[in-house]
Each structure stands twice: as C-alpha cells, then as structure tokens.
Amino acid sequence: MKFISLLAALLFSVALSAHAAGDPTYKCITQGKVTYSDEPCVGAKIVDTTPTQGLDKTSGQSRKGADVQRVETQREMGKAMQQITGRAPEQRDKAIKRINLSLKDRQECEALDIGMVHFSTPTPEEEVELYNLRKRYKDLKC
C-alpha cells in the first residue's frame, strides 16, 4: 500500500512538473503496460494534467497553490491582452514561448500546429505520422 501511494505521488509530481513547464503529458500503452511521459510515443493520448485546487478543511475557503495562482494570473492577463492585440490567450502563450526561436523554427512550429489538428481521431496508420509531428514539435521546443 505504501508503494502504491509513493508511486501515485511520483506520477502526480511528474505530471505536475510537465504541466508547469507547459509540456503535454502523454499516456502510452506499450505491450499492455501504461506509462506516462513528456515524450510522445506511437498511439499516445494527451492527458490533462491541469493542477486542481482544494478546500481548506477548517475554513472551507478555496486553497490554491502557487502554480494554480500563476495559471489564473496568466489567464486573466491573456484575456486583458486579447482586447488590445486581438489574439486569443492561447495564441499569446504560444507566441511568448516561441519568442526565442528562429524565424524558420517559428514557421515550422506553426505548420506543425496546423498539421496536428488534422489528427483528431487518427487511424493506426496515421498514428506514426502524428508521433513524428509531436516528436518534431517537442524537439523544436514549440
């Protein structure tokens, strides 16, 4: 039982650190075994690792960690900036993340964004192509 709790805490911390870095977490099933990774694999599903917030047992008030507060602040800043720039908060976040990339890499990232959208429900043959797109996306640090 102690091992399972330790394993769950480890998986949660890995998922949380990956989310904090802005990287997606992938759920991979290989030879019947489920693994979670920040590296894409063939047939990977992206897992939502958004941190949750809890309630303080004594006061009933919402209790938010620093990571949740940071995400909420960034979300509000994105909404405010949308009125000025006309960009959705997600577009703003991508632009900030990619600001240090070369023009060529930024253009490739944009092409990868478009390419990956077409795979909402990929066939087994398309899984390999989607894997390659995700791998390139990660390698470029899009």
Q: What is the pLDDT of residue 53?
A: 64
User: Which ranges of the chain would DSSP assign to H, the alpha helix?
Assistant: 2-20, 66-85, 89-97, 103-117, 124-140
Q: What sign has the CA pseudo-torsion 49, 55, 57, 58?
A: positive
Tell me the per-residue pLDDT of 79-105, one tens digit each, with 9 for 90 and over: 888 888 888 888 888 888 899 999 999
63 DSSP β-pair partners: 54
pTM above 0.75, yes or no: no
| Residue 103, pLDDT score | 93
Distance CA(134)–CA(39), nearest Å, equals 9
Task: Locate 128 and state its tokens.
Answer: 């390999």
Beta bridge partners of 104: none
Which residue in 38, 41, 34, 40 sits closest to 49, CA to CA?
38
